[in-house]
Structure 1
Amino acid sequence: MTTGLHLIRIVGGGEFSCGEDESVLLAMERCGSSDIGVGCRGGGCGICRVKVVEGGYKTGKMSAAKVSESDREAGYALACRLYPAADLLIEV
């Protein structure tokens, strides 16, 4: 894989590629997959909540009502605000 492009694998689901500057949710939609629920795409509704099992990532602004600080520490994030820094394994 080229630099900045990472493999996203979903436990019990599919896999797709995602650039570091693209959210996991948008990459999933671009690749024609539907493993993650799609809602507002803005970090507020919580429909696309996932748990990162393996891999490095950064997140954008998310609703604290949907992903608390303790949730973040446990690896939870909203896929619409999840950006890979490495290959990821996620649970939906």
Structure 2
Amino acid sequence: MNGPHRIRIFGGGEFTCGEDEPVLLAMERCGAGDIGVGCRGGGCGICRVRVLEGNYTTGKMSTAKVSESDREAGFALACRLFPTGDLVIAVE
């Protein structure tokens, strides 16, 4: 299914996001403000989140902000996070 997918922030808001749209931009489009917004380019780390449930892909992210072991633990930058299904995420 290519969306829109439901994105739920643990202890926060909820919005929808298509598979071709970064979670951070979908949050902004929907008027939510649960995730910090920085460079929007995968480098600053302000939008770092942890995916608790669901499937996703990611684009290029700074390894200084999200290491390989972080990625394996479900961490990602929301500006480079693309859902392939409904997600539950936690803001770190």
The residue that corresponds to 2:32 in the other structure is 33
- TM-score w.r.t. the length of structure 2 is 0.97
Sequence identity percentage: 78
Matches within 5 A, 1:1-92: 3-92=2-91
Q: Tell me which amino acid in the other structure corresponds to 1:89.
A: V
Q: Tell me which amino acid in the other structure corresponds to 2:70.
A: D
- TM-score w.r.t. the length of structure 1 is 0.97
What is the RMSD of the two structures over their aligned residues, measured on CA atoms?
0.9
Q: Tell me which amino acid in the other structure corresponds to 2:58.
A: T
Q: Tell me which amino acid in the other structure corresponds to 2:46.
A: I
How many pairs does the alignment contain? 91
Partners of 2:69 and 2:85 in 1: CA distance: 22
Shift of 1:87: 0.1
Partners of 2:70 and 2:2 in 1: CA distance: 29
Shift of 1:70: 0.1
Shift of 1:84: 0.1
Partners of 2:2 and 2:31 in 1: CA distance: 23
Structure 2 unmatched runs, 5+: none
Shift of 1:4: 2.1
Q: Tell me which amino acid in the other structure corresponds to 2:49.
A: V
Structure 1 unmatched runs, 5+: none
**Cα distance per residue 1:30-69 (max 9 Å; x no partner):** 0000000000000000000000000000000000000000
Partners of 2:58 and 2:83 in 1: CA distance: 9
| Cα gap change, 1:85 to 1:22, in 2 (>3 Å) | same
